[in-house]
Amino acid sequence: MITSRTMPEELRILILEDNPADAELTQRELEKAGLSFVASVVATRWEFHQQLDAFDPDLILSDYKLPGFDGISAMRIAVAERPEIPFIFVTGEMGEERAIDTLKEGATDYVLKQRLARLVPAVERALAEVEEKSQRRRAEENYRTVFETTGTAMCVLVEDSVVLSANQGFKRLLGYAAGEPEPEVRFKQVVSRGGPEVEDFDRYHRKVLSEGGRDPVFFETRVVHRDGRTLDVLASMGRLPGTRNSVLSLIDVTREKKYEGELKERAERLRDFLTVASHEIRHPITVIKGYTEMLGDGDIKIPEDMVPDIYASMNDAADRLTRIVTELMDVSRIEDTGVELDMTSCETKELVLEAAADEHGARAARHVEVEVLSDPGQVMVDRARFMFVLEQLLDNADKYSPEGSPVSVTLEAGPDGPLISVLDRGPGIPESDRERVFERFYQVEDALHHSKPGMGLGLYIVRQVVDAHGGRIWCEPREGGGSAFRFSIPK
Ligand code: ADP
């Protein structure tokens, strides 16, 4: 086991020496230099082996030739079992070549007994090396801990974008199990599979490698999670000094990106809404203002037969303004307190027939057919709000259908309570908009092509009312063309 150790206060020296006088001389030399140490002198293989463990030395000084044992074998044992302990030969005879061989095999140094003055500098150098190595190891351990425990996903890439090692954060981000080995993962496979991001990634990787990578590059890209999801990430890549490897870190910004997209869309929608709403309000005001000016102008003689038309136009304009204000107030109330319901038991068929009959006359020119497929009987609803839902759907069917085309309502006892469908032969709603038309301010036509009155609030309010009843509303394409708006309310 490798342990890190700092320079000990009192050095523990294991001396392998069969000649007590030589062992004494060695120790004296060290004492002379003021080194504080304890020594254990051994002469046999068994003692050496045993003390290597029990005495736990910081340094080994070994003779080369011993009766029944030898320094080379001792060195091999020490190198195999305790490679961190410096091993210095202190020997009377050793040819140059042999000395070099021992150094190659792992000995730290050798000192000839006849030149014992070299012993202390050799010991000091060996211990300094040990200290330096252990400091380096500690620093590496610290960096590894930082690498492993940082919340940021990080990996080291070799030149052709193979992941050499990845931290827990990286594995977590991409869906690999903590203990799973990763060296074979090719990073290009986890960048958006073959998409344009791979080119992006390659470009940045080349830049990092070619520019020496002193400064990291930052870029946005996308990676594919193991489960197939695409993640938006902020990447930074820098070169590891002295290598062709680079370190890559990724921060998952998928949620932020989505949120940013939503905010942008909302802002755009709000802008569209303001354009549409100001247009919607200006139009009836222009009508009213025009006629009041005309009526107030004493010089203009208004023919008697025009008065009913003028009255009807002004009345329509005022109704339109009232409707706009009511919608806006409804939305503001819903956003504030939700939909409050005043529930009563009602006969479903009666409500449907009443709405279709159109007492207010706004759809007077349109015949609405009611078909009762099966009578659902009574239902608990807020009567006024339920009527609002039906009327809103019928108004839309009327508004978006060509003149003369039929609108019908079907009523049936559905599995979840009464199921009511409002069917038209209008232009229908593209699939991508079928859910969105129930969102606040949403209109299929954009603000520039706004051709029908309305502010994209009707279906939003309708859905809130149906939801408050615990029901469901959706839109389907109608067979043969047109739309089918269906809703069901639990009994
Ligand atoms: P608006 O007041 O703009 O009509 P709604 O919320 O009632 O707002 O409807 C949202 C959008 O859904 C409309 O702008 C229109 O594009 C589309 N839409 C609603 N009903 C129909 C329908 N019956 N046929 C075709 N499009 C419709």
The answer, yes or no, to whether any atom of ligand 1 lies below 6 A from the CB of 437, is: yes
Instruction: Check residue 56 and give its pLDDT.
Output: 94
- Identify whether the C-beta of residue 68 lies closer than 8 Å to the C-beta of residue 48: no
Domain containing residue 326: CATH number: 1.10.287.130
Instruction: Check residue 5 and give its pLDDT.
Output: 38
Residues 171 and 297 in one domain: no
Cα of 455 to ligand 1 centre, how many Å? 9
What confidence tier does 2 reach under pLDDT thresholds 50, 70, 90? very low
Domain containing residue 168: CATH number: 3.30.450.20
What confidence tier does 228 reach under pLDDT thresholds 50, 70, 90? confident
What confidence tier does 184 reach under pLDDT thresholds 50, 70, 90? low
Cα of 197 to ligand 1 centre, how many Å? 39
Question: Which residue owns the Cα nearest ligand 1 atom 13?
Answer: 443
User: Can you tell me the mean pLDDT for 358-366?
Assistant: 76
Domain containing residue 94: CATH number: 3.40.50.2300
The answer, yes or no, to whether any atom of ligand 1 lies below 6 A from the CB of 427, is: yes
Nearest ligand 1 atom to the CA of 276 is 3
The answer, yes or no, to whether any atom of ligand 1 lies below 6 A from the CB of 400, is: yes
Residues 342 and 483 in one domain: yes
Question: Which residue owns the Cα nearest ligand 1 atom 2?
Answer: 454
Map tokens 């020119």 to a residue: 365
C-alpha dihedral sign at 343, 347, 349, 355:
negative
Q: 62: closest CA among 39, 99, 87?
A: 87
pLDDT in tens, 378-422: 999 999 999 999 999 999 999 999 998 999 999 999 998 999 999
Pick the last residue of a domain from 84, 109, 144.
144
Residues 345 and 413 in one domain: yes
Q: Report pTM.
A: 0.60
The answer, yes or no, to whether any atom of ligand 1 lies below 6 A from the CB of 482, is: no
Residues 119 and 192 in one domain: no
- How many CA atoms, within 13 angstroms, populate the side-chain half-sphere of residue 438? 17
Instruction: Check residue 297 and give its pLDDT.
Output: 86
What confidence tier does 196 reach under pLDDT thresholds 50, 70, 90? confident
Please tell me the total count of domains within the chain: 4
- Type of residue found at 17: E
Nearest ligand 1 atom to the CA of 459 is 6
Instruction: Check residue 213 and give its pLDDT.
Output: 56
- How many CA atoms, within 13 angstroms, populate the side-chain half-sphere of residue 127? 21
DSSP state, residue 449: G
Number of residues in the chain:
491
Residues 136 and 41 in one domain: yes
The answer, yes or no, to whether any atom of ligand 1 lies below 6 A from the CB of 248, is: no
Please indicate whether residue 85 or residue 228 has the higher confidence score (pLDDT).
Answer: 85
User: Can you tell me the mean pLDDT for 472-486?
Assistant: 96
Cα of 486 to ligand 1 centre, how many Å? 14
From 283, 405, 443, 478, mutation site for ligand 1 pocket: most ligand atoms within 8 A of C-beta: 443
Task: Please state, as a whole number, how many other Cβ atoms lie within 10 Å of the Cβ of residue 411.
Answer: 22
pLDDT reading at 212 higher than 70: no
Nearest ligand 1 atom to the CA of 424 is 23
Residues 26 and 80 in one domain: yes
Pick the last residue of a domain from 303, 336, 369.
336
pLDDT in tens, 89-127: 999 877 888 888 999 999 999 999 999 999 999 999 999
Residues 299 and 370 in one domain: no
Cα of 396 to ligand 1 centre, how many Å? 6
pLDDT reading at 207 higher than 50: yes
Question: Which residue owns the Cα nearest ligand 1 atom 12?
Answer: 437
Give strand ranges (E) for 17-152.
Answer: 37-42, 59-62, 65-66, 69-70, 87-91, 109-112
Nearest ligand 1 atom to the CA of 456 is 8
From 280, 363, 459, mutation site for ligand 1 pocket: most ligand atoms within 8 A of C-beta: 459
Map tokens 């009443």 to a residue: 354
Cα of 421 to ligand 1 centre, how many Å? 16
Instruction: Check residue 8 and give its pLDDT.
Output: 54
Q: What percent of the chain has pLDDT over 70?
A: 96
Residues 50 and 102 in one domain: yes
Residues 156 and 103 in one domain: no
Pick the last residue of a domain from 252, 286, 315.
252
Q: Dihedral (C-alpha) 124, 129, 130, 133: value to the nearest 10 degrees? A: 160
Residues 186 and 239 in one domain: yes
pLDDT in tens, 152-166: 999 998 877 888 888
Instruction: Check residue 339 and give its pLDDT.
Output: 94
Question: Which residue owns the Cα nearest ligand 1 atom 11?
Answer: 443
- Type of residue found at 338: G
Distance of alpha carbon 320 from alpha carbon 394, whole angstroms: 17
Domain containing residue 409: CATH number: 3.30.565.10
Mean pLDDT of the chain: 90
pLDDT in tens, 262-321: 999 889 888 988 998 999 999 999 999 999 998 888 888 888 898 999 999 999 999 999
Residues 229 and 297 in one domain: no
Residues 6+ apart with CB under 8 A from 158: 164, 244, 245
Please indicate whether residue 486 or residue 297 has the higher confidence score (pLDDT).
Answer: 486
User: Can you tell me the mean pLDDT for 469-487?
Assistant: 96
Instruction: Check residue 359 and give its pLDDT.
Output: 66
Domain, as residue range, for 119:
4-144
Residues 349 and 456 in one domain: yes
The answer, yes or no, to whether any atom of ligand 1 lies below 6 A from the CB of 388, is: no
The answer, yes or no, to whether any atom of ligand 1 lies below 6 A from the CB of 370, is: no
